[in-house]
Chains A and B, each alone.
Chain A
Amino acid sequence: MVAAAAASHGKAGLLRWVSARLRGPDLPVLTKELRVRMRGARAFLIMLGYVVTLSLFAVGYLFVTTAASGILSTGAMRATTPDVYIWLVRRLFATLAVAQLALVVALAPALTCGAITVEREQQTLEMLGLTLIPSRSVVVGKFLASLCYVVLLLLCSVPVFTFTLMLGGVSPLEILTVYLVTFAAALFFGAQGLLASAIAKRTYAATVLAYGLTGFWLFGFFASAWGPAPFLFFCAVTLAGLATVAAHGLVPRLRPGARAQRVTHIAVFGFTFCAVLALLNAPFFLDSVVDLAMETSLNPNPYVILYALSLGQQGGQYAGPSSGYSPYGGPYGLVGVARTAPIVWPAVCLGALSLLGAALAMCAATSLFGAARAPQADPPEVAARAAADLFPDTASREDAS
């Protein structure tokens, strides 16, 4: 078939034939954003800043540890045991991973929180809203465009990470896993930014809200690792939120208009995710209260694992420079796979969880955007006054009864 197409259309025809089959669903917003995003110097300056920050971090880290312990300086290097060397490289790797994660968590909401508010501010929202494009397509298009840019940033940092691969002690699988965790963070926190953009009317308000949400969710992710008190606090917030939502849904008096309904939508999405997160963290909370004899190194939160690794602990527990067996023949050897942190499966779970959270946030954003482009009804008080004016008989009858 391909050959037939090639024969009938020549080379250009074949290209067109293939590209027509490769094209997915029509996402005009994504196409537009992708065309526009890389114009001008800004996108490239951010990329440069991103890589420079990460590299400085890596070099600075090496420099500081070397100065502190002297182990990586040329002379001392030979005297260092393989264990210490590997421990150091792994620390470097984990520190880079945490730094990249922090950068992405800080950048992802910033990239999306203007998505809808900027349209409002530059007076293009009306015209976009009046087209026949589905709200879902707008929200997904904006989101994917930002995500593409984050992926580009992540690709830029690959050389920095291969540096640790070259030093030895880190497996390619671990690097891949770290990228998965970072991508999941971009997915989740980017979606929060988009949600904030759909809720707020102005970009500055959306920015504040986006970082507020980010802080809240980070707290949620870390709650069980920090101990019982934060976890219980997080659970309390979740329960209170769910109760409020339930009350809104069940008591009709509490929802006078479409606006309240929209608020309910967002809250349902948000607090459902809160509940999922709380449930996932629950076993580790229980473990910390009544000893379930679970290994702390099995904490399923990749954020916690990476953070612990960067502090020189293995899988949440301090392993120390000389613990365990090392498969390395020498300090400079690039041998096989080193000890792997138990991070792959937690990372996959985190990916799934982030996908769920992002999907929920996008549903909320879609419903909000849909409401914003629908014909705007009068505020309740205006409608009531007008009704009294238009149908004075009915109004007075109601007053009398």
Chain B
Amino acid sequence: MLTIDRLRKDYKALTAVNNLSFHLEKGDVFGFIGPNGAGKTTTIKVCATLLQPTGGTVYVDGLDVTKHTDEVRGMIGYMPDFFGVYDDIMVWEYLDFFAAAYKIERARRKSVTDDVLELTDLTSKRDAYVEALSRGMKQRLCLAKTLLHDPKVLLLDEPASGLDPRARIEIKELLRELKAMGKTILVSSHILPELADFCNKIGIIEQGELVVCGDVGEIMRKVQGGKALEIVLLDDCDKAVALLSELPNVKGIQRNEQSLRVEFSTDEVDQALVLQTLVQNGLRVQSFAEVQVDLEDIFMKVTRGVVS
């Protein structure tokens, strides 16, 4: 549905995106992750037919975005990271305007705007002025506007940035609903937990290059490369460290006051043996748990030190 082939985009002083390629199938939700200034917005803007690539090509549903600009514009819904709203305009007028601008016939406009208002939970704000909405509502309104022409591909640039936790969760719920509707979604963020739950693919970009890209589970396995345990003891950590380092497959132990983080080089760890070793040697274990490696850890591992 969306194919990026060796994309490159140069600005005056730098190459913002270099040799970036990935492919999204219909229904994919792709989390596009990277620190600020890594090239996420530039990539999305090329996909949204706002910028011409310096090199490489982007295809939406098989159409080159620079050659079939109008057709592509009819298929994509783009939500910019920063956007403004018109003054003195009501929510329904705003949507009605964009519906007309997307060439939705007069007869259908009302039902279409009502549908997107319903979907974004803004029906009660139908007659409110746009500039009086809260930031989260504006974000949802912009998303509603993006959905008017029923686009196949959604390009969402930082849809949850600058929102309070509640508004964030509302946006997430909305994205989950869109995923269920079978839309292909590319959503960018510089914060990982935002994307962790509903993406099936992720790509991590740094300094214009795609560092990691692929299925979320696969990447987790690849990057993780072994389990880690977190153990909190009530006494004598030195003895525990000595005992644990004797065990097979232990890669390293980090000590932080009374808690230990034990990393193993394989996935198959005999956790019972570890616990048994500690307890049999008279150490009092307060807690014993497997460390959950999440996207954030992956991100930190993959991008370590490259961006200052």
Contact = CB atoms under 8 A, between A and B. Distances in A.
Contacts of A24: none
A395 to B, nearest CB: 14
Contacts of B288: none
Interface residues of B, number: 39
A28 B100 contact: yes
Contact of B74 (A31, A129, A132, A376): A132
B73, B83, B101 pick with most chain A CB within 10 angstroms: B101
A81 B55 CA distance: 84
Given A378-B52, A386-B55, A31 B86 contact: no
B84 interface: yes
Given A31-B97, A376-B50, A40 B85 contact: no
Contacts of A379: 12
Interface string B196-240: 000000000000000000000000000000000000000000000
Interface stretch (B28-36, B87-95, B242-250, B271-279): B87-95
Interface string A9-38: 000000000000000001011011001100
B69 interface: yes
A184 to B, nearest CB: 30
Interface residues of A, number: 32
Interface in A97-156: 122-124, 126-133
Nearest to A374: B69
B49 A390 contact: no
A122 B84 contact: yes
Interface in A356-377: 374-377
B100 A35 contact: no
Contact of B69 (A31, A36, A128, A375): A375
A385 interface: yes
Contact of A127 (B66, B89, B145): B145
A385 B100 CA distance: 42
B270 to A, nearest CB: 54
Nearest to A37: B88
Contacts of A377: 52
B7 interface: no
B70 to A, nearest CB: 7
A381 to B, nearest CB: 8
Contacts of A26: 100, 106
A132 B86 contact: no
A382 interface: yes
Given A130-B73, A132-B70, A32 B54 contact: no
A383 interface: yes
A13 to B, nearest CB: 15
A375 B52 contact: yes
Interface string B30-52: 00000000000000001011111
Nearest to A385: B10
B83 A378 contact: no
B78 interface: yes
A180 B98 CA distance: 35
B66 A375 contact: yes
A132 B93 contact: no
Contacts of A386: 8, 10, 15, 54-55
Interface in A199-256: none
A135 to B, nearest CB: 12
B22 interface: no
B83 A126 contact: yes
A397 interface: no
Contacts of B73: 130-132
B10 A378 contact: yes
B76 to A, nearest CB: 8
A123 B97 contact: no
B96 to A, nearest CB: 8
Contacts of A382: 10-12, 54
A36 B86 contact: yes
B83 A124 contact: yes
Contacts of B27: none
Interface in B4-20: 8, 10-12, 15
Given A32-B89, A132-B102, A133-B101, A124 B12 contact: no
9 contacts: A124-B85, A124-B86, A127-B145, A130-B49, A132-B70, A132-B103, A375-B69, A382-B12, A383-B10
Per CB-CB distance, the 7 closest pairs between chain A and chain B, nearest first, are A28-B100, A123-B84, A131-B101, A122-B84, A133-B101, A39-B88, A375-B52
Given A28-B100, A128-B101, 4 more contacts: A31-B100, A124-B83, A131-B98, A390-B54
